Amino acid sequence: MSDTSILTAAKRSPLLARAAAFAAVGGFLFGYDTGVISGALLFIQDDLHAGDFAQQAVVGSLLLGAIVGAAISGYTADRLSRRWTKFGSGCIYVVASIGSALSTSVGELIGFRFVLGVAVGTASFVGPLYISEMSPPKARGGLVSFNQLAVTSGILAAYLVDYGFSGVSGNWRWMLALGAVPGLVLAIGMLTVPHTPRWLASAGREDQARDVLRSIRTDDDDVDAEMDGILEETHDESSTSWRDLMAPKVRPMLVVGLGLAIFQQIVGINTVIYYAPTILKATGLGNGGAIAQTVAIGVTNVVFTIVAVSLLDKVGRRALLLTGTSGLVVSLAVLAAYFTFPTLQHDLPILALLALILYIASFAIGLGPVFWLMISEIYPQGVRGKAMSLSSMTNWGFNFLVSFTFLTLTGAIGRGGTFLLYALIGVGAVVFFAAKVPETKGKTLEEITGQVEGDYAADEAGSRSARERSRT
Ligand code: BGC
């Protein structure tokens, strides 16, 4: 397949397109369920008499559930398959969405949001994992990031649903219940698509793996060569214990994956996603204006994710990651200045919105899609499920940490100080990415593993000969 466009890939293999689309419905729910609660809380607090602590618990229980979901599904994705794990998450979405909508007490709601979180944590990485293992190398960046496009669309849908239902009685129940519909689509959809060829090969089902690969490739693709690569790696990487993540040749990529996971959250993305109206209200806007501008932020997130999806296989992951993260630093510095100097707030009130738009656009072309994409590419087959699970747990853990320190942090060092801190962290991220993140564009997953292991062997040989030289 010489054309890198995902549309071409999808047109040539409708089955591949269907598989990627259904898998990405899990991403849509990840976005919807994390985004919907900010608007719903305004009504839950009255209906269920939820105080500050209870409200934070309603928000936080989903994030804690996501950590648990990411942990469990590392095991089930290897054992039961990527496909059945996704099917399971669809079923949990349906039950937990309806359960949360029918909750009669804060305790029940917290419980159901936790269960919902298990599905969110699962879908967050098994979606990219499933799509990555199905995709042809030249279109993998766009196809996997289709999942991130679904996440951002889910967030936007949640903002719009919150807005649309805000005048309807019993509204928060509808806001939460609606998540059951895509959950059902996900579960039924996963019944109609195949297992990934790489999972089938690792389960010893080689003939089926070859059949699936043939059905999702075109006549121009060398299916036999790709299959040989998969089998070779499956034989090399047969053991899959958690301890294998610490193997010296896996460790460098684990550092990259965990670094991306942590930086994606500690540049403060979810303070903007969850608290945008609060930040905007601090610029002097009323409720209505703040919500309308929040929708503008949601639209920007979707539009720039589309830009990323179309560019990732052309300009590569590194270029987008470095450009996007540099943009984050600039916008955070502007926000820090805005909240530090009252004259700016007075003379140039629009600056906060412009900086937030630049911030979200920069995240959407870089760290947003690239983190989930890279963790689906850089780990060897034998540890891919577990290494992705650990990276996702770390990401959700830091999401929880940042979301719950934001209001305390702004209380302690002010909004200006908080955004300055995020900007400095962003500078650290640019340096780390420039030094450590490899380019994976256009390579098969097996070639990426070969390249990483080759680099590791070369480094080892280099330091061994340096040690020998220093001894003589
Ligand atoms: C992140 C989420 C974030 C979303 C925003 C995802 O890649 O993992 O934490 O809310 O992007 O678009």
Per-residue pLDDT at 233: 79
Q: Which residues of 232-269 are buried (b: 16+ CB within 10 A; e: fewer)?
A: ebbeebeebeeebbeeebbebbbebbbbbbbbbbbbbb
Distance (angstroms) between ligand 1 centre and the Cα of 40 equals 19
Report the atom number in ligand 1 closest to the C-alpha of 124.
8
Asked whether 96 lines ligand 1 (CB < 6 A), one says no
- 3-state SS class at 208: helix
Expressed in angstroms and rounded, the spacing between residue 165 Cα and the centre of ligand 1 is 24
Q: Is 298 in the pocket of ligand 1 (CB under 6 A)?
A: no
> Given pLDDT bands bounded at 50, 70 and 90, which one contains residue 6?
low
* Whole-number pLDDT of residue 2: 44
- Ligand 1, atom 1, lies closest to the CA of 368
Nearest residue by C-alpha to atom 11 in ligand 1: 368
Q: Is 13 in the pocket of ligand 1 (CB under 6 A)?
A: no
Going from the Cα of 294 to the center of ligand 1, the distance in angstroms, rounded, reads: 15
C-beta separation of 108 from 67 below 8 A: no
What is the average pLDDT across 247-273?
93
- Residue 32 tokens read as 């919807």
**Which tokens hold the place of 128?**
């990219």
Q: Is the dihedral of CA 226, 227, 232, 234 positive or negative?
A: positive
- Structural contact between residues 123 and 183, judged by C-beta atoms closer than 8 angstroms: no
Higher pLDDT, 283 or 416: 416
CB distance 403 to ligand 1 below 6 Å? no
Q: Which range (39-53, 67-81, 84-98) has the least confidence?
A: 39-53
Q: How far is the CA of 368 from the centre of ligand 1 (A)?
A: 6
Q: Is the pTM of this model over 0.75?
A: yes
CA of 398 to the centre of ligand 1 (A): 12
Residues 285-323: b if buried by 16+ CB within 10 A, e if exposed: beeeebbebbebbbbbbbebbbebbbbbbeeebbbbbbe
Q: Residue 274's pLDDT is what?
A: 75
For residue 457, what pLDDT is reported?
72
Q: Is the CB of 128 under 6 A from ligand 1?
A: no
Q: Does residue 161 contact residue 36 with C-beta atoms inside 8 Å? A: yes
Is residue 1 predicted with pLDDT exceeding 60? no
Mutate to test the pocket of ligand 1, among 30, 264, 392 (most ligand atoms within 8 A of CB): 264
pLDDT tens-digit profile of 309-355? 999 999 999 999 999 999 999 999 999 999 999 898 888 888 988 99
269 lines ligand 1 (CB under 6 A): yes
Contact 108, 184 (CB under 8 A): no
Please report, rounded to a whole number, the percentage of residues in the chain having pLDDT higher than 90.
Answer: 63
- The answer to whether residue 441 scores a pLDDT higher than 80 is yes
Position 418 scores a pLDDT of 94
pLDDT single digits (tens) 162-190:
888 877 767 889 999 999 999 999 999 99
User: What CA–CA distance (Å, rounded) separates 274 from 280?
Assistant: 12
pLDDT at site 112:
97
Closest residue CA from atom 10 of ligand 1: 270
* Ligand 1 neighbourhood includes 139 CB (under 6 angstroms): no
What tokens were used for 187?
A: 């579960």
Ligand 1 in reach of 301 Cβ (< 6 A): yes
| Dist. CA 261–CA 29, nearest whole Å | 20
How close is the Cα of 283 to the center of ligand 1, in Å? 24
- Measured distance CA(52)–CA(43) in Å, rounded: 13
Instruction: Give the model confidence (pLDDT) of 29-47 as tens digits.
Output: 999 999 888 778 878 888 8
For a mutational test of ligand 1's pocket, the pick from 270, 359, 367, 406, i.e. the residue with the most ligand atoms closer than 8 A to its C-beta, is: 270
User: How far is the C-alpha of 350 from the C-alpha of 319, rounded, in Å?
Assistant: 30
Q: What pLDDT, on the 0 to 100 scale, is given for residue 37? A: 86
Check if 399 has its Cβ closer than 6 Å to any atom of ligand 1: yes
| Distance (Å) of CA 16 to CA 182, 425, 467 | 20, 38, 50
For residue 377, which of 135, 124, 209 has the smallest C-alpha distance?
135
CA of 332 to the centre of ligand 1 (A): 17
Note the helical H segments in 192-316.
Answer: 197-202, 206-215, 223-236, 251-266, 269-281, 287-315
Q: Is the pLDDT of residue 275 over 80?
A: no
| pLDDT tens digits for range 367-403 | 999 999 999 999 998 899 899 999 999 999 999 999 8
- 276 has pLDDT over 80: no
Distance 226 CA to ligand 1 centre (A): 32
The H or E element spanning position 136 is: none
Q: Assess contact for 370 and 457: CB atoms under 8 A.
A: no
Contact, 196 vs 205, CB < 8 A? no
Does 273 score more than 70 pLDDT?
yes
Which has the closest alpha carbon to 407: 241, 232, 268, 257? 268
Dist. CA 367–CA 304, nearest whole Å:
12
Higher pLDDT, 265 or 9: 265
User: How far apart are the C-alpha atoms of 242 and 335, rounded to whole Å?
Assistant: 42
Considering only CA atoms, which of 91, 137, 147 is closest in space to residue 118? 91
* DSSP H or E run through 392: helix 381-436
DSSP state of 440: -
Q: How far is the CA of 185 from the centre of ligand 1 (A)?
A: 22
CB 273 near ligand 1, within 6 Å:
yes
Each residue's pLDDT tens digit, 210-248: 999 999 998 778 888 999 989 887 766 555 678 888 888
Q: What percent of the chain has pLDDT over 70?
A: 96
Q: Computed over its alpha carbons, how large is the radius of gyration of the chain?
A: 22
Tell me the helices (H) and strands (E) count for the chain, helix number first: 20, 0
Residue 134 predicted with pLDDT over 70 = yes
Q: How far is the CA of 31 from the centre of ligand 1 (A)?
A: 8
Query: Amino acid identity, residue 30?
Result: F
Euclidean distance between CA atoms 285 and 196, whole angstroms: 49
DSSP string, 325-378: HHHHHHHHHHHHHHHH-HHHHHH-THHHHHHHHHHHHHHHHTHHHHHHHHHTTS
- Of all protein residues, the one whose alpha carbon is nearest to atom 9 of ligand 1 is 270
Ligand 1 contact, 144 CB (< 6 A): no
Q: Is 270 in the pocket of ligand 1 (CB under 6 A)?
A: yes
Average the pLDDT over 68-90 and give the result. 95
For the Cβ of 305 lying below 6 angstroms from any atom of ligand 1, the answer is no
Residue 245 and residue 254 in contact, taking contact as beta carbons nearer than 8 Å: yes
Q: What's the mean per-residue pLDDT of the chain?
A: 90
Distance (Å, rounded) from C-alpha 45 to C-alpha 471? 70
How far apart CA 42 and CA 135 sit, in angstroms, is: 42
How far apart CA 300 and CA 380 sit, in angstroms, is 35
Q: Answer yes or no: is the C-beta of 368 below 6 A from any ligand 1 atom.
A: yes
